Amino acid sequence: MLTSTPSHSPLDIHLTKEAPVHADFHWQGQASDLISSAGSSSGTFVVQGGPGSGRSSFLRDVARAEIMAGTNPDSILFLTASKEAAGETNRWLLSAIEQEFDKDNAVERVFSEPIARSVHSFAFAVLRDQAARNPGAPKLRLLTGAEHDALVQDLLREQAEQGSDIWPDKLKPALTTLGFARQLRDFLLRVTERGVTSEKLREYGQRFSREEWIAAADFYDDYRSTARLMGSNALNASELIRAAVDALDNDEELSEPLNFDVILIDDSQFFDPLSSALVERFRSRARLTLVASAESESVFGFRGGSTKYAKSLVDKEKTIHLPGTKRMAPPVAELAAGVAKSMRTRESNRWAEEIRQQVATNSANDGTDPGEADIRILTSPSAEVAAVVDRVRRAHLVDNVSWKGIAVIVRSKSQAAPIRRGLLSAGVPVADDPTEIVLSEQPMVRALLLVVRGAVDKNLTNDELERMVLSPIGGGDPVTFRRILRGLRRGFMRLEFDDPDKADDLASTIMTDDEDFGRPVFRAIDALRFILLGGELADLTKNLTAREKDLIMRVRSVIEAGQTAYRNGESIETILWEVWNAAGLSDALVDQSLRGGAVGSMADRHLDAVMSLFDAAGDYVERRPSSTITTFLQFMRDQELPTGARDRRGPVRDAVVVSPAHATVGKEWDTVVVAGLQEDVWPSLSETGTIFRQEEFIDLVDSDVEPGLPGNRRGRYDDRLAEERRLFLVAVTRARRSLLVTAVGPHVSDDGKVDSDADTRSRFLEEIATDDIALSSHDGSDHESSESADSGATENSDGAATQSSLSMRPEREYPRVLSADSLIAELRRAVESKDTPSHEREQAARQLARLALAAGDTPSRESVIAAANPDHWWGLQGLSTTKSLHDDDKSYVIFPSQVEDYLAYPLGAFLKSVQTAGRDSSETLLGTLTHMAAEAMERGVDEEKVRDRFLATVPRLLGPHAWNKEEQIEAWHKMFNGLVEKLHERDAALTGHAEFEKDMGGTLIGHTDSGEEVQIKGKIDRLEVSDDGKYYIIDFKTGHKIPEDVPNHPQLKTYQTLMAKWEGPQESSLSSASPSASGKAGDSSVDNCLAGAELIYPHKKPRKRPVQAPLTNEDIDSWTRKLIELATVMAGPQFAGRFDLGRDEKNRFGSLGSVLIGKSVLDPTFTPSNPEDTD
């Protein structure tokens, strides 16, 4: 066990060994006789019993007794079905023997080598001894599932490329698919597990006209030949046992040193025929053999696991039956008995009856925890997850069960993901099984491999580059990533017009050729790639913020560490280490891991994944000394199956296990939740291996049932259903004290109508629904009591449903989760609801106050209970500010381009400005480009040069994936021609001079009622000044739709008002020509300086020029008053909304809507009925 002090204290780590629990069982009958006569008893015994009957514990007690009686530990063989069970047995034996002997003597005497081994470990030891006698033989190695999968895929890919004729024509198109490779690999494993050779498989295929079997046999021969040519002695798990059996049969001297006095076989129902054959090679020479078996737990039939071997050894006089259960609390045992009885076999019925008698005999209350077992039917998957999370948290917080003493069991891996997310979001640490996730898909490993690939071959796709920036190494987020790309794009646009030659040089370095147009196309993602891989683009990064630059430099520094190691010719492991070290994540992850909780479990996951990556790299280099980092990256990329992590025998993490049912055999927890009992999920009755007719092959070999006979399909269906029932029994019997089974059922309305579209609960729940098994629909709330009473259920003083009756009605209320978030939410509902009685509201407020005081000064985002403070409640506080948006020390500022929107819909205009702040759409960028092109021509830049630059830039702004790219480019080409034509027309009509993109600064137009200045700020696209000093304003529009009422166009009127009020610097060419000295606006009898305004649309030629006549002085005064009034509206902080938007306005403002003052859109009484009463 690893513990540490809080992170703010000096780190103080203590390592302690957690000793296994030794339960002292009182064995009876033959079981007791065997233990008492240890050292002298002989014969072969079959140990039978149901789940929890103590089969494994009995074998361990026999092993301990034999050692205590003087039997040499090296002459005891204890075989298990898994390495985890073997490790647990060895730890148990070591601890048990240490209690009997002096510690030093015990270790020397007992554990010169492990007593307990998995059957695969024992087979490996046999082959290792054989290899030791043949020094020239290739080194033996166990092939992982992921490696086996990759080898099969490689060979299939090669056969497909060479046009191999071993496969039927109907299968050739599928050779390169992952699904085909997976089914072929599984089929060959089943073949090997049953000891069937390729010759025998080919014979079966010919006899029963199964061309798939013939092809698979030919492939298997090619596979083994390829392995031999490579000089490899790597065997998968099935081949390992087969090779051990063959070695023992062909080499008598090999088996002589392997004489065992005592052989103990645990969980033999999981052994396939080859494993049983391996045991038989030694059993006849052993003094004592015990084979433990449980037909009701035989759940690996698809792998060849069965009870046939144990049944072949059954002798009534030497059969030891262990009755009942020794680990399950009475409620758990009763529910499990209901499952066993539904199986309708002699053994299951016997065990169920033993449980009933055991519970009845021990029904007296002895003061111990009686345990609990419930079944809950929920109305939705999210409600089911909430119920699971609640049970887990209550077990830990109320019942004081450690996190690692809790498990959630599901039928399939896909069901685990939402439960895992729900637990983590509630702060529950979740243990990860490294064998469940492909190593290259682990987030931290994927990020490291991406960085190494970038450092080695610099060939990352755009998606991979984005994932690298957003990975734990980059630490970015999608918003920041987009801002970086926009900043780089804006920098390049500016560089193109400021320094075209420099832009061309940069383009030749980082641009790619657009496949549609044959010209270089700038993409911001390419520029980012260039920078991250070591390039310098200072001109493009000027617009980036400090945080954005830091993110780029962080990723770049990690890549540079990998590049340096690669250039120096370092090994694969060294390159990986340099990248990992440069990332600087290890200290932070270790700190998070030591803190525990949900964050700690995620840190554990990342650290384990990195350790597994280094293990994989070391193993790869050991197997292929001449390999390179490039071949290793390809090897990792090709892996499609999970790879088990190396067992470092570390302490068991204090985290909840979420696991598929098959992975829980042989394990137990204090509290277990079996979730997802849905029809078509549990039981899962779909056939496996349909391409190779795998189930037909299994029936043929295991049961001698010829393929194609009538009734075969029905028989296989019944076998699958029976195995699914046994798997369900395994799941519910993993619990010692507390069990919860959950399912989602259809909602039943008050009038009895059932939602036919809802999920259907599993038939297994219906089968165990008996009068003495309760299906609880209680959610902890008082209003359920009446409904329970109606169904005949009774409740104890705590409100929990007793086991006197059954309710299969789904729960109507959403489950209450015992967490701070749920508690605070419930208290808030009670406080804020008008329907809550006053005394309950007062009590809820009191509890919220206590929680808020407990949170103290902790920031709201750092402490969960700080959310109890009303200061942090959304929607309850008043306005965040009553200040206007303009600076107190400055004037109100109006931008002409915003006037029209604010006059039409103030709230929508404000939200639109916030929504688009800092964001440049393609349309906006193209509009900016148009103005830049016009400005360049006005400054005297050659028209053709501007045209070339304009047309080269347009495709880059449209992006590489625009579906109508050619049409858009053609349209913008026409637009440029229209722009040139309009400029020529205006130049020809010009009697004075013109300025383009004229920045008018801030022009004072008046004061508000409170005396504050109001200014207009803006740039005029083209300002023409006639010889007599009149101003003609032109605004270019890149859109297509011309306003209907141009004479009253708000933007043009604002521009005219600006010029009428403008008093620029004396040296300005405009101020010297201005007639403002001869008259003042406001005096309608004197002419002003305005000649009018016009909208120019280069995209089209309107029938009527969109011209606005010059404003009179009266018009100017009226519009000025309007603008001064609008200035206070634009400054906020309140904005008026509308519900009567027209179609054009909806297109302009999008989905930016309004709500009534004082109402929430979540309020059921909300109805947008008063357009004027809005906020």
Binding annotation: 49-56
- Summarize the annotated binding site for ATP as residue ranges: 49-56
Q: Give, for 979, the enclosing helix (H) or strand (E).
A: helix 965-989
Q: State the distance between the two ends of the chain, measured CA to CA, in whole angstroms.
A: 58
C-alpha–C-alpha distance, residues 925 and 929, integer Å: 6
* Amino acid type, 93: L
- Residue 410's beta-bridge partner residues? 660
Cα–Cα distance list, 257 to 239, 263, 445 (Å): 23, 15, 45
DSSP string spanning 409-433?
EESSHHHHHHHHHHHHHTT--EE--
Burial 283-320 (b: 16+ CB within 10 A, else e): beebbbbbbbbbbbbbbbbbbbbbbbbbeebeeeeeeb
Name the residue among 671, 601, 684 with its Cα closest to residue 299.
684
Which region holds residue 793: left if phi is over 0, alpha if psi is between -120 and 50, else beta?
A: beta
Burial class from Cβ neighbours inside 10 Å (0-12, 13-18, 19+) for residue 488 reads: buried
For 752, other C-beta atoms within 10 Å of its C-beta total 6
C-alpha–C-alpha distance, residues 675 and 415, integer Å: 8
Cα–Cα distance list, 622 to 127, 134, 337, 630, 988 (Å): 20, 21, 52, 16, 81
Task: Summarize the chain as % helix, strand, coil (round to 5).
Answer: 50, 10, 40
DSSP 630: H
C-alpha–C-alpha distance, residues 548 and 1061, integer Å: 42
C-alpha–C-alpha distance, residues 717 and 711, integer Å: 10
Q: What is the dihedral of CA 958, 961, 962, 965, to 10 degrees?
A: 80
Helix (H, G, I), strand (E, B) or coil at 1068: coil
C-alpha–C-alpha distance, residues 832 and 830, integer Å: 6
C-alpha–C-alpha distance, residues 1044 and 1048, integer Å: 9
Q: Report phi then psi at 173, rounded to 5.
A: -65, -20
DSSP 675: -
SS (H, E, C) 201-223: HHHHHHHCCCHHHHHHHHHHHHH
The dihedral sign for the CA sequence 979, 980, 985, 991:
positive
Cα–Cα distance list, 84 to 119, 244, 259, 603, 1006 (Å): 12, 21, 25, 23, 84
DSSP 681: T
C-alpha–C-alpha distance, residues 95 and 76, integer Å: 17
What are the structure tokens assigned to 25, written together? 């069982």
- Beta strand pairing call for 76-80 and 262-265: parallel
Helix (H, G, I), strand (E, B) or coil at 673: strand
Q: How far is CA 594 from the centre of its chain?
A: 23
Whether the Cβ atoms of residue 1139 and residue 1168 lie closer than 8 Å to each other: yes
Sequence-separated (6 or more) residues with CB below 8 Å from residue 524: 484, 485, 486, 488, 489, 492
Q: What is the dihedral of CA 9, 10, 11, 17, to 10 degrees?
A: -80
